[in-house]
C-alpha cells in the first residue's frame, strides 16, 4: 500500500538529497579558485548546485536502482559537471551574447573567440573538465544536436508567437533531450542480454525522454509567476485554464507510468520508481489544486491571475495536507 511505503521512500530521498548536497558543496568549492567564486553570481552559484541535484536525486538515483547498481563516483562527478554546465549553457540562448554557430561550437570546446563574459568563462572551465571526463559518443552528439536545435527554437518563447503544438514540441524536446543526455552518461544502464539490448535501449530512451518532458511540465507549472513576470511563453502560461494544464500533466504522468512498466526490470524496482515519481510530481499537483480553487472562486481565466496568485509557495503549511489528500486517493 502506497501510504505505508511513503516513509521509506521519503527517507531514501532525504538521504540521497543530503549526500548530493554535501558532495556538490565540496566539489564546487574545490573546483573553483577564490577569484572565480567571486565572479559567479549568487543566482548561478545556486543553479550549479540545484541542476545537478535535480538530475541526480530526482532521476539518476532511481535509474541506478532499476539497474541494481549504485551511482559510481565517476558518474556523480560527470553528471554534476554536465548539469552544472547545462544551466549556464541554457542562458546563452536567452541573452543573445553568442551567435548561432557559436552556441554549438562552445559546447564542443571549439569556441576560440576572446570573450570576457563571466558566464562564458565559467562555462568553459566546467565544459573542459566535463569533456576530459567523458568522451562524447556518437549517440550523445546526435542527441545533443537535437537539443541544440530545440533550444534555438525556444528563443521564440520570448516573443510569444508560438502555437500550443509548437510550444509543446519545443518544451518536450528541451526537457526530454536534456534528460536523455544525462541518461547516456550513466554506465551499464540496460540489461547485458545482447539479444534484447537494441530493443531495450530504444524503449528506455523513449521512457527517459517522456520523463524529461514530464519534468518540463512540472517546472513550467511551478515557475508560472516568474515566467509571466518575464513575459516568457511556456506550457503553463499558454493554456486558458488550470484544467487544461492539469490534464496535460495527468496524461504525461500516465504515459511515463505505462512506459516504465514495460522496461526490462524487476517488478519491485519498478514499483519503487513509481513511488518516487508520485512523490516528485506532488508539488505540481498541489500547486494546480490551489490555483484551481482561486480560479473557481474568482471566476477568471489563467491569463488574468496576478503574479502573486501564480507564485508557488513552497513553505505553505497547507501543501502537506493537500498532498496527503492526493496520496489517500492514490491509496
Q: pLDDT value at position 193?
A: 41
Do 276 and 9 meet the contact criterion of CB atoms below 8 Å apart?
yes
Phi, psi of 54 (to 5 degrees): -65, -45
Phi, psi of 113 (to 5 degrees): -70, 145
Q: pLDDT value at position 65?
A: 93
Alpha-carbon distance values, 143 to 61, 80, 139, 150, 157 (Å): 22, 19, 6, 11, 22
Q: pLDDT value at position 192?
A: 40
**Counting beta carbons within 10 angstroms of the beta carbon of residue 69, is it exposed (0 to 12), middle (13 to 18) or buried (19 or more)?**
middle
Do 255 and 207 meet the contact criterion of CB atoms below 8 Å apart?
no
10-residue block means of pLDDT along the chain (331 residues)?
88 96 97 96 96 96 91 95 97 87 92 84 96 93 96 91 94 97 77 48 93 97 94 91 94 97 93 95 96 89 91 94 87 63
**Cβ atoms within 10 Å of 109's Cβ, excluding its own:** 14
Do 4 and 327 meet the contact criterion of CB atoms below 8 Å apart?
no
Amino acid at each position: 500500500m502506497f501510504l505505508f511505503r511513503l516513509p521509506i521512500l521519503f527517507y531514501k530521498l532525504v538521504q540521497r538529497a543530503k549526500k548530493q548536497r554535501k558532495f556538490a558543496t565540496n566539489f564546487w568549492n574545490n573546483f573553483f579558485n577564490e577569484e572565480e567564486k567571486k565572479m559567479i553570481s549568487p543566482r548561478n552559484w545556486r543553479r550549479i548546485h540545484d541542476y545537478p541535484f535535480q538530475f541526480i536525486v530526482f532521476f539518476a538515483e532511481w535509474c541506478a536502482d532499476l539497474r541494481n547498481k549504485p551511482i559510481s563516483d565517476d558518474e556523480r562527478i560527470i553528471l554534476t559537471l554536465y548539469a552544472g554546465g547545462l544551466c549556464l549553457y541554457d542562458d546563452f540562448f536567452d541573452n543573445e551574447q553568442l551567435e548561432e554557430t557559436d552556441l554549438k561550437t562552445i559546447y564542443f570546446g571549439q569556441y576560440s573567440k576572446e570573450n570576457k563574459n563571466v558566464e562564458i568563462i565559467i562555462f568553459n572551465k566546467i565544459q573542459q573538465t566535463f569533456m576530459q571526463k567523458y568522451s562524447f559518443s556518437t549517440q550523445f552528439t546526435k542527441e545533443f544536436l537535437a537539443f541544440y536545435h530545440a533550444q534555438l527554437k525556444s528563443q521564440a518563447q520570448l516573443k510569444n508567437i508560438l502555437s500550443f503544438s509548437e510550444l509543446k514540441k519545443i518544451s518536450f524536446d528541451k526537457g526530454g533531450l536534456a534528460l536523455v543526455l544525462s541518461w547516456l552518461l550513466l554506465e551499464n544502464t540496460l540489461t547485458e542480454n545482447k539479444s534484447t539490448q537494441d530493443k531495450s535501449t530504444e524503449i528506455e530512451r523513449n521512457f527517459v525522454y517522456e520523463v524529461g518532458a514530464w519534468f518540463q511540465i512540472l517546472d513550467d507549472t511551478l515557475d508560472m509567476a516568474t515566467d509571466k513576470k518575464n513575459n516568457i511563453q511556456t506550457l503553463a502560461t499558454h493554456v486558458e485554464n488550470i484544467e487544461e494544464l492539469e490534464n496535460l500533466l495527468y496524461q504525461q504522468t500516465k504515459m511515463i507510468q505505462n512506459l516504465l512498466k514495460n522496461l526490462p526490470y524487476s517488478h519491485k524496482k519498478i514499483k519503487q520508481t513509481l513511488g518516487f515519481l508520485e512523490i516528485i510530481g506532488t508539488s505540481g499537483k498541489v500547486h494546480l489544486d490551489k490555483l484551481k480553487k482561486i480560479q473557481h472562486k474568482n471566476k477568471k481565466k489563467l491569463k488574468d491571475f496576478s503574479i502573486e496568485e501564480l507564485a508557488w509557495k513552497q513553505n505553505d503549511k497547507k501543501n502537506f495536507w493537500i498532498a496527503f489528500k492526493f496520496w489517500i486517493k492514490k491509496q
